[in-house]
Structure 1
């Protein structure tokens, strides 16, 4: 048997075998990398792995990651979602779909602050689920809008998953952030359009519209959005305006989040320590996965697997579209069992050379991949947003998955749109470069 083929089979058995037994993703990647290096190459395994672990753990681009995670944890413990609901409700209460649009718009605003899908979903859902249930909205629709819209935490910048992809693919994080703007806006329109259309087609499901609010009342309600919109402008606007790097903007975001917590009187010693420790745990987990993935990547490079696989795919004569379809199916299948960051670091060493050899822009592919990972957030059995909503509502996971299905299909529609019209992704970063 060809040594490269044997190495690939050994790698697959190691990775899936260890993951199936419940071993941590970071440990799985590190053990697999060491085994590949020791079994299939004459290279000095110990020194190479040690230097790779060190080199992958201090990259400057990674410094923004724990700051954005901490910002999200601080805001999760504040009352920001309450004011967002008050600010948005008068504007959408009489639209087809009513206050369900608050879930979509509220998640979009929170996504632009926290960069995390689970935090976005939990923060908005903690307030909106009991409020919409009290007003008579169908629970399936409430859950569906939260499940789908919560995924925007990965697409609308700043996004933690985009930071990990940018580091792994050696792409500009600022360009990735900018590239996510238009697809994010398109996704908001798709979700709101579906909510409105369903309400028009099935009016019996919906409660009576909210009482009409005059223009002055609506404008007055907008003052509730000032804190959240101000933080979005401070964080995201500073990046787009060239005033700050993503890391500097993340530091500004943390300061802004602390100030908002002071304003909402939720910043006590207990919340501060809890948020800091949660951010540290999450950041350490991500850093461990990235460092271990670097070890696996260098081992795979030594056994020449990326070049061999790229050559094999090239011999198949797949068009770029066919290649993207195959990769999409692979990521969605992995998304049933792994979370997004693990998927990126696990596949990058093999997938990125294939994508580059097909002439696909890596910034565009980053957004393509993020949308797929968004879809994986609402697919059982390991859809993180499904678990968040299960804890909020007490509904079983299959009920939540069925409610989220239309939003999964809308994410697939967005994939088709950016594939047919790649300018949706690239026009803004190209214009600002």
Structure 2
């Protein structure tokens, strides 16, 4: 009998993806790699396909708030803001989004929507056995420590750290006796297929971004917003709608590069902290990753599961709304963003 489709394993999916996303800060890569491991296992255990897909697509975007975030680096360079302060500012909102997502899973699992299945005694006994064998996770912790340590220690860039992870993974697998020529070739071809899928998605998005830039439509829309003379709060509401629409057709980096130069004078005139606005912009980019018709994560999951793109988008709708709620909370309590950067300057 399958396990109950409740929240613990799905909540753990967030913990798996946050450290992985910190290694490369590329949501599509995180979604593809973690999805290949977690989706079959969650399906085998009887978890809801809809919720499994929704958690995977939304959790993989959280890496944009975790250093080293390429979006924060691009924003910091374009606006001449401190990248280290942006990195510190992303910690609070990242924890907030994580808490909101996990709280939703807990509420969903306790509601009548969650199937009520009685777990067999054997499954309950297996928990104790897994705890006794938890020492076997030490090589995995060493792998994570090697990847993150090489990045934060300044030894390797995120791309170079990926190579470190590959070498450490092969060494650990070899020591455990689970690595041979066939497994090596299968891993190479699986990685090649995943990389090609992501590359084609990015290529298509880049072509669309170039076309949008050529028409100067984003620039014209941003200029129209500047001419409205809106109050700070209303300005953020209009900008959110504007950026979400553009995010349906542009990748995150193109979005920041195309509109930031025009929007920043409005932000400064409205008295909005540029560090706070940078985090706000990153969260909007996160939302665009799960927004059709050009949501990177939606296409990645479609490639993994074969589901209709709009079915996947429907599964991510609750998390889309939670991200909007997070933006509202950050506006009401800006200290969530600004406390750590301000403390760093004391």
> 1:287-306 to 2 correspondence within 5 Å?
none
* Equivalent position to 1:181, from 91, 95, 100: 91
- Between the aligned partners of 1:311 and 1:121, the Cα distance in structure 2 is 36
Question: Is 2:58 the counterpart of 1:148?
Answer: yes
- SS of match in other structure, 1:370: helix
In the alignment, which residue of structure 1 is the partner of 2:227?
A: 312
When the two structures are superposed, what TM-score results if normalisation uses the length of structure 2? 0.78
In the alignment, which residue of structure 1 is the partner of 2:176?
A: none
- Between the aligned partners of 1:107 and 1:141, the Cα distance in structure 2 is 16
Q: CA deviation at 1:99?
A: 1.4
Q: Tell whether the 8 Å contact from 1:113 to 1:231 is kept in structure 2 after alignment.
A: no
- Between the aligned partners of 1:171 and 1:144, the Cα distance in structure 2 is 33
What do the CA deviations read for 1:376-403 (whole angstroms, capped 9, x no partner)? 1111111111101111111101110111
In the alignment, which residue of structure 2 is the partner of 1:390?
A: 302
Q: Tell whether the 8 Å contact from 2:222 to 2:263 is kept in structure 1 after alignment.
A: no
In the alignment, which residue of structure 1 is the partner of 2:27?
A: 117
> 1:56-67 to 2 correspondence within 5 Å?
none
- Between the aligned partners of 1:197 and 1:334, the Cα distance in structure 2 is 32
Task: Note closer, same or farther for the CA distance 1:310–1:188 as it changes in structure 2 (3 Å cut).
Answer: closer
Question: Is 2:112 the counterpart of 1:202?
Answer: yes
Q: Tell whether the 8 Å contact from 2:25 to 2:70 is kept in structure 1 after alignment.
A: yes
In the alignment, which residue of structure 2 is the partner of 1:84?
A: none
Q: Tell whether the 8 Å contact from 1:111 to 1:157 is kept in structure 2 after alignment.
A: no
In the alignment, which residue of structure 1 is the partner of 2:145?
A: 230
Task: Note closer, same or farther for the CA distance 1:185–1:377 as it changes in structure 2 (3 Å cut).
Answer: same
In the alignment, which residue of structure 2 is the partner of 1:429?
A: 341
Q: Tell whether the 8 Å contact from 2:6 to 2:47 is kept in structure 1 after alignment.
A: no
- Between the aligned partners of 2:98 and 2:226, the Cα distance in structure 1 is 39
In the alignment, which residue of structure 2 is the partner of 1:105?
A: 15
- Between the aligned partners of 1:331 and 1:189, the Cα distance in structure 2 is 25
In the alignment, which residue of structure 1 is the partner of 2:167?
A: 259
In the alignment, which residue of structure 1 is the partner of 2:41?
A: 131
In the alignment, which residue of structure 1 is the partner of 2:100?
A: 190
Question: Is 2:282 the counterpart of 1:370?
Answer: yes
- Between the aligned partners of 2:35 and 2:62, the Cα distance in structure 1 is 14
Question: Is 2:143 the counterpart of 1:220?
Answer: no
What do the CA deviations read for 1:82-102 (whole angstroms, capped 9, x no partner)? xxxxxxxxxxx9995131123
In the alignment, which residue of structure 1 is the partner of 2:124?
A: 211
Q: CA deviation at 1:259?
A: 3.4
Q: Tell whether the 8 Å contact from 2:62 to 2:94 is kept in structure 1 after alignment.
A: yes
- SS of match in other structure, 2:316: helix
- Between the aligned partners of 2:27 and 2:273, the Cα distance in structure 1 is 25
Q: Which moved more, 1:197-206 or 1:256-265?
A: 256-265
- Between the aligned partners of 1:308 and 1:125, the Cα distance in structure 2 is 40
- Between the aligned partners of 2:225 and 2:47, the Cα distance in structure 1 is 51
Q: Tell whether the 8 Å contact from 2:291 to 2:313 is kept in structure 1 after alignment.
A: yes
Q: Tell whether the 8 Å contact from 2:24 to 2:159 is kept in structure 1 after alignment.
A: no
* Equivalent position to 2:291, from 356, 372, 379: 379
Q: Tell whether the 8 Å contact from 1:96 to 1:197 is kept in structure 2 after alignment.
A: no
Question: Is 2:60 the counterpart of 1:170?
Answer: no
Q: CA deviation at 1:353?
A: 1.7
- Between the aligned partners of 2:25 and 2:57, the Cα distance in structure 1 is 16
- SS of match in other structure, 1:205: coil
Q: Tell whether the 8 Å contact from 1:258 to 1:267 is kept in structure 2 after alignment.
A: no
Instruction: Kindly name which structure, 1 or 2, has the bigger radius of gyration based on alpha carbons.
Output: 1
What do the CA deviations read for 1:28-58 (whole angstroms, capped 9, x no partner)? xxxxxxxxxxxxxxxxxxxxxxxxxxxxxxx
Give aligned pairs, total. Answer: 320
Unaligned runs of 5+ in 2: 174-178
Q: Tell whether the 8 Å contact from 1:310 to 1:354 is kept in structure 2 after alignment.
A: no
Q: CA deviation at 1:432?
A: 2.0
Q: Cα RMSD over matched residues?
A: 3.9
- Between the aligned partners of 1:326 and 1:310, the Cα distance in structure 2 is 8
